[in-house]
Amino acid sequence: MCGRIVQACGRVVFAAATGADRFVGRAPTPSWNIAPTQSMLVAADDTRAPGRVLATARWSLVPRWSRTDRLTWPTFNARAESAAEKPTYRDAVRHARCVVPVDGYYEWQPAAADSAPHLIPAAPDPAAPGRRRRPSRTARAPWHVHRADGTPLLLAGLYSWWCPAPDTPWTLTATILTTQADASLAWLHPRQPLPIASDQLDAWLAPDADGPAELRRAVAASPGLAPELAVHRVAPLHGDGPGLVVPVDGDGTVPGTDSGVTASPAART
């Protein structure tokens, strides 16, 4: 799953990464700790005019037919395997696909009450030594999985415009699709956000494409993108700011310092 994301590098960088040629809505403040129902940036092809837009959306999809935005089930993530059949998401799979460009996202290890967050941003130089060092499965510490080159990671998403009542403003809402975790990340969580490669982007966003088929292609291609991810420890999430993605050692301190960002006791090895 994916319950926290980082969007800190700004609209211009995200527009370049997604091919967006214009912005819609007020730009959210850069954040290293975006939670469901908060504002995030999404990129999608404009269905009313040529071009691609980068827009601000509420992170938790609300289908157009819903009478309320307080659904009884969470919609900040949607399972890629079943989204095309689910009433909440099937229209969006067909005609309203988007990508969520992120610096990274956080994850928590299951099966431990004191498990800690892990940040997964976006791809190191394939020749870089030691970039795929695998952490111990027994560690109960937070990790940051990232692209060492600092470029955004594009996550597959779905969007929906929702209006609570006649003569009230429409709200853009969105969800992030998830899939089974690649073997290299399964120690962290059994599921992961579904990545979209740059050469898949145009087909994924095309409103007139066969949405269910594009979703199947994206799922099939996702293992090939796993080698682009690298991992390092981070401290538990508190507040906001770039310090949330600072690497920490096994003792919970920033490398090269006597003290620093403190990890939870469970994060210490």
- The DSSP string of the chain is ---EEEE-S-HHHHHHHHT--EEESPPPPPEEEE-TTSEEEEEEE-SSSSSEEEEEEEES---TT-S-S--SS--SEEETTTTTTSTTTHHHHHH-EEEEEESEEEEE-SS-TT--EEE------TT-TTTTPPPPTT--S-EEEE-TT-PPEEEEEEEEEE-SSTTS--EEEEEEEEEEPPTTTTTT-SEEE-B--GGGHHHHH-TTS-HHHHHHHHHHHGGGGGGG-EEEE-PPP-S-SGGGG----TTSS-TTSSS-SPPPGGG--
Residue 113 has pLDDT above 50, yes or no: no
Note whether residue 254 is domain-resident.
no
Domain assignment present for 264: no
Any domain includes 117 = no
Per-residue pLDDT at 16 exceeds 50:
yes
Q: What is the mean pLDDT of the chain?
A: 82
Residue 268 lies in a domain: no
Please, which residues have CB within 8 angstroms of residue 216's CB and are 6 or more apart in sequence?
none
Residue 135 DSSP symbol: P
Contact 84, 212 (CB under 8 A): yes
CATH code, domain carrying 150: 3.90.1680.10
Specify the number of domains making up the chain: 1
Q: Is residue 197 part of a domain?
A: yes
Give pLDDT tens digits for 20-53.
999 988 888 999 999 999 999 999 998 888 899 9
Beta pairing, strands 153-162 & 97-102: antiparallel
> CA-CA distance, 176 to 198, in Å (whole number)?
17
The predicted-structure confidence for 192-209, as pLDDT tens digits, reads as follows 999 999 999 999 999 999
On whether residue 126 sits in a domain, the answer given is no
Q: Is residue 263 assigned to a domain?
A: no
Contact 132, 63 (CB under 8 A): no
Q: Is residue 29 part of a domain?
A: yes
Domain that holds residue 184: 4-110+140-245
CB atoms within 10 A of CB 94: 18
Q: What pLDDT, in 10s, does the model give residues 220-258?
A: 999 988 878 877 778 888 899 999 988 877 555 555 433
Which residues, including other chains, have CB under 8 Å from residue 222's CB and lie 6 or more apart?
A: 179, 182, 192, 194, 195
